[in-house]
Amino acid sequence: MTHIIICLLFLVCELNHSVTSVFPESSLLIMLGFILGGIVWGADKAQTFKLIPTNFFYYLLPQIILDASYCMPNKLFFSNLGAILIHAIIGTCWNAGTVGIALWACYEGGAMGNLNIGPLQFLLFGALISAVDPVAVIAVFEEVHVNEVLYILVFGESLLNDGVTVVLYNVFDAFVSLGGPKINAAEIIKGIVSFFVVAFGGSFLGVVFAILISMLTRITKNVQVIEAGFIIVLGYLSYLTAEMLSLSAILSITFCGVCCQKYINANMDEKSVTTLRYTLKVMANGSETMIFVFLGVSAIDKNIWVWNTGFILLTIFFVVIFRFIGVFFLNWILNQSRLIPIDITDQFVMAYGGLRGAVAYGLAALLDEKKIPEKNLMLGTTLIVVYFTVILQGITMKPLVQWLKVKKATHSDLTLNGKMNNRAFEHILTAMEDICGRMGDNWWTRHWNYFEDKYVCWLLLKSDARKHKDPIFGAFHKLNLEDATKYVTEGERKGSLDFIRNYDSASVDFKKKLALEYGDITPYITGIDNVPVTSVMKNPIPSVSLDIHEQDRKSLPDKLSAHHLLDQHLYKSRRDNRPTYSRSHYNTSENPDEMQEIFQRTMRSRLESFKSAKMGVNPAKKLSKHPKKDSTHKPNGKPADPHRTHPYGDEDFEFSADSASSSEIAGHFHRRSTNTPGAGVDNPAFIPEMDTSPPMRNPPWQTETGNNTAVAPSQRAQGRLPWTSTNLRHLALLRMSTRSTDSFVMADASLDEEAPEEKPGTHHTRL
């Protein structure tokens, strides 16, 4: 019955947005709980509906954590992991210690009257009240859209501090049982060791389950309908297992969700992913609602209330004060080494957002009355602290954020310019870091990515998922499908689908979305295949723009196609997607094919300019392209022979700066002699002293010194590096001679005949 009432009232509240804009949902639910509790109390004279700790910890909490961790922005999380851990561990210990000691000091000072309490019990109370609660944080911060960094810091802290809380609670509980005198150094050391065991054990268990889940999704192709169910069950299992082993269950389920999301999203069908996401959300929301209502209901119980003004007020006061002190102090330390220091306003919100919630209540309810005679007092105080933080701080959070002008979450619609420039900046920064020679951050991340590519993905991803590992590809595909359906819907709306079949008369006059005269749309109806649209539409750049639903800001189709293109094809820099304040991990997938390609291009362009300098030919402005050569870089499987002297680079030679030369490799050799202006002419400028007047792009650094380590390939390119010492010297010799360009051609030809012609693009061997 309660549940029905809850659902109905939940719906009512949802509909009434004006109320929810002021009161966060959680506080409304608590008040609802009060009312309900009042009703039940009035009916039964006893509180039959209480939040029993077991129910809470086993049935209500896990879903919320699983949902939160599954939807966690991983990059952000791991890049701020240092800060999060410091706050979670040190911050929580600080809170627990200071609150406990301060309360005890006040007790000794007589501020609370007569209580049957000892210092250890104060510490225990401090431990259970110090934990920032993930449920409350989610509930309140959901309404207030602060910037991602701030959110992840508070939220991450609330998740990871469970390890500390559990340990502290258990340790102090044990101490209380032992009694004061028996505590000696051995016990304390045991306590510290138990922290490491609990925390790391819990996390490790979570990772193990993540691996299990990922491997499971590899083989569930035939039971896709219930794939989502497997994951929920296994996630819950990780929670229970950790609980059973007395490890930190929240940490376990958190890491399970965090680690497996990438792989299961890749392995599972899109529909399953959607199902999973929605199911988790439903369960999490339901649990959250129930938790808050129960929190309210539990208050209406005469039996538990022991009112001690001093205790209660002092608790609230200390909790708030020490939270602020702790946060500011720790952030000050962190800011010394972060690239992007945390703003003071952000810090304030962080401190203010240290909400206590149901976890604290659950832990308080678990207290043993025999050991702790003042359990009811603590319980009552905990409830009041929870109400204070959730209701009061929750309500005032939004106005506070607005007043402080905290940076909100940015929903920037990136322009093409922005995208291109962002990528360019990444490349620039990577280059600068290389020039500076400092590789601190990159070392770890590169090795992790290498490890991941080589072993982890092989183990955890399905074979076809592995091929399409690029997340951009998935997004591209999805957007393409969306485009296609919208295109068709629009066409149907306008009346006829004729234009799809007949492109010449594509005179459908859709309303232009933006005030742009230039609507170059190339709708990718072809979908995944990267077949250039020119094959589909006769007019490569039609002046049609699709009219998409006005409300949907994001679907600006005239931009979308260009966006897709950029997204899919921009070379990834090593810093790809890494926020620059990262200190450690980021997840790039260094594509060896891409690197090889870039390397070849660079070498090619250097050779071109070197050659043109020698021949006195200016490189043409328009560069040659290879449109259809390689739509996909298929792994060749051919083992690279490092000792083979490829005339590889000489093939590149053929792609001279002539604009006219096409990408046809087969015909290149013949064409070249006809296309190159002045090829047959004895170029008087072609004398050895040419190399002393190098233009900027002249790559004498490759040939002159004969220093073959000049362009030492990375470990990846090693096996496939076309340039070997013999080739380089070959070129140097050629250049030094006064032979005419004809002989050059002949030299190239001879080199070329040596080895079979291969398309440069297919040279790659997948690592």
Site for another protein, residues 531 to 550, rule: CB under 8 A = 532-534, 540-541
Spatial contact of 248 and 205, defined as CB atoms under 8 Å apart: no
> By rule CB under 8 A, what string of x and - marks binding of each residue 78-117 to another protein?
----------------------------------------
Work out how close the CB of 628 gets to another protein at its nearest, in angstroms, rounded to a whole number: 8
Binder among 48, 177, 415, 496 for another protein (CB under 8 A):
415
Q: Does 701 bind another protein (CB under 8 A)?
A: yes
By C-beta, is 412 or 507 nearer to another protein? 412
Q: Give, as one character, the DSSP assignment of residue 543.
A: B
- Token pair of 264 as six digits: 């299961």
Work out how close the CB of 543 gets to another protein at its nearest, in angstroms, rounded to a whole number: 12
Q: Which parts of 428-487 interact with another protein (CB under 8 A)? A: 428-438, 440
Q: What is the C-alpha to C-alpha distance for residues 686 and 688, in angstroms, rounded to an integer?
A: 7
CB neighbours (10 Å) of residue 637?
Answer: 8
Work out how close the CB of 602 gets to another protein at its nearest, in angstroms, rounded to a whole number: 5
Q: Does 767 bind another protein (CB under 8 A)?
A: no
Q: Which parts of 631-670 interact with another protein (CB under 8 A)? A: 631-632
Residue type, 171: V
State how far the alpha carbon of 345 is from the alpha carbons of 254, 301, 352, 408, in Å: 28, 40, 10, 12
CB neighbours (10 Å) of residue 690?
Answer: 17
Half-sphere exposure of 612 (CA within 13 A, CB side): 20
Sequence-distant (6+) residues with CB within 8 A of 156 are 77, 80, 81, 84, 88
Per-residue DSSP letters for 692-757? Answer: GS--TT--HHHHTS--TTTT---TTTGGG----HHHHHHHHHHHHS---HHHHHHHHHHHHHHS--
Binder among 594, 691, 752, 758 for another protein (CB under 8 A):
594
- Token pair of 381 as six digits: 């105080």
State how far the alpha carbon of 266 is from the alpha carbons of 21, 217, 257, 419, in Å: 37, 9, 14, 25
Work out how close the CB of 432 gets to another protein at its nearest, in angstroms, rounded to a whole number: 5
Q: Does 515 bind another protein (CB under 8 A)?
A: no
The candidate with the shortest Cα–Cα distance to 723, out of 614, 604, 615, is: 604
Q: Which parts of 348-387 interact with another protein (CB under 8 A)? A: none
Binder among 398, 513, 601, 671 for another protein (CB under 8 A):
601
By C-beta, is 398 or 601 nearer to another protein? 601
Torsions phi, psi for 254 (to 5 deg):
-65, -50
Work out how close the CB of 31 gets to another protein at its nearest, in angstroms, rounded to a whole number: 40
Work out how close the CB of 537 gets to another protein at its nearest, in angstroms, rounded to a whole number: 11
Q: Does 629 bind another protein (CB under 8 A)?
A: yes
Q: Which parts of 134-163 interact with another protein (CB under 8 A)? A: none
Q: Which stretch binds another protein (CB under 8 A): 58-66, 172-180, 638-646, 692-700?
A: 692-700
Q: Which parts of 321-340 interact with another protein (CB under 8 A)? A: 339-340
Spatial contact of 727 and 703, defined as CB atoms under 8 Å apart: no
Spatial contact of 334 and 342, defined as CB atoms under 8 Å apart: yes
Spatial contact of 132 and 89, defined as CB atoms under 8 Å apart: no
Q: Which stretch binds another protein (CB under 8 A): 238-246, 364-372, 409-417, 636-644?
A: 409-417
Q: Which stretch binds another protein (CB under 8 A): 296-304, 476-484, 590-598, 675-683?
A: 590-598
Residue in this structure with the two tokens 């931009």, named with its chain if needed: 559
By C-beta, is 72 or 603 nearer to another protein? 603
By C-beta, is 196 or 701 nearer to another protein? 701
By C-beta, is 622 or 729 nearer to another protein? 622
Spatial contact of 389 and 356, defined as CB atoms under 8 Å apart: yes
Q: What is the C-alpha to C-alpha distance for residues 99 and 108, in angstroms, rounded to an integer?
A: 14
By C-beta, is 219 or 420 nearer to another protein? 420
Work out how close the CB of 160 gets to another protein at its nearest, in angstroms, rounded to a whole number: 24
Sequence-distant (6+) residues with CB within 8 A of 323 are 95, 351, 354
Work out how close the CB of 706 gets to another protein at its nearest, in angstroms, rounded to a whole number: 12
Spatial contact of 612 and 493, defined as CB atoms under 8 Å apart: no
Q: Which parts of 606-625 interact with another protein (CB under 8 A)? A: 606, 621-623, 625
Q: Which stretch binds another protein (CB under 8 A): 74-82, 237-245, 516-524, 732-740?
A: 516-524
Q: Which parts of 15-44 interact with another protein (CB under 8 A)? A: none
Q: Does 696 bind another protein (CB under 8 A)?
A: yes
Tell me the number of residues near another protein by CB under 8 A.
88
Q: Which stretch binds another protein (CB under 8 A): 89-97, 191-199, 260-268, 596-604?
A: 596-604
Work out how close the CB of 425 gets to another protein at its nearest, in angstroms, rounded to a whole number: 4
Binder among 62, 362, 394, 699 for another protein (CB under 8 A):
699
Work out how close the CB of 734 gets to another protein at its nearest, in angstroms, rounded to a whole number: 19
Half-sphere exposure of 394 (CA within 13 A, CB side): 31
Q: Which stretch binds another protein (CB under 8 A): 2-10, 44-52, 206-214, 561-569?
A: 561-569
Residue in this structure with the two tokens 């050569």, named with its chain if needed: 629
